[in-house]
Amino acid sequence: MALECLHKEGIIYRDLKPENVILDGEGHLKLTDFGLSKMFKTEENLTYSFCGTPEYLAPEICRGSGHNFMVDWWSFGILIYEMLSGINPFKLRNKTNY
C-alpha cells in the first residue's frame, strides 16, 4: 500500500530493500530512506538516473533505457522472494559487475 500511495502522489521510491522497511510499535510496516526517491510527473515518460541497490535494481535501470514507477514493483518482487526463500536471487559476488 505504501508504494501505491507514493505512486499516486507521483513519487518513484527506487530503493526498496529490507534495510529500508521497518516495523513501528504497533507492528505496521514503514518505509524509510527516501534519498533516492524522485518526483515523477505523469506527463514524463521515463527517467534515466542510475541509482539503487544493485541486488534490487530493475533491468531497465541497469540498461539505462529509462524507467518509471514499475521499477518499484520489480524491487518489491525481489523483496518478497527474499522474504520467502531467505536468499536474494541476484546476490552479487562482486558489486562492480552489474
Q: Which residues are known to be catalytic?
A: 15
How far apart CA 12 and CA 40 sit, in angstroms, is 7
The 3-class SS string of 30-67 reads EECCCCCCEECCCCCCCECCCCCCHHHCCHHHHHCCCE
How far apart CA 52 and CA 84 sit, in angstroms, is 22
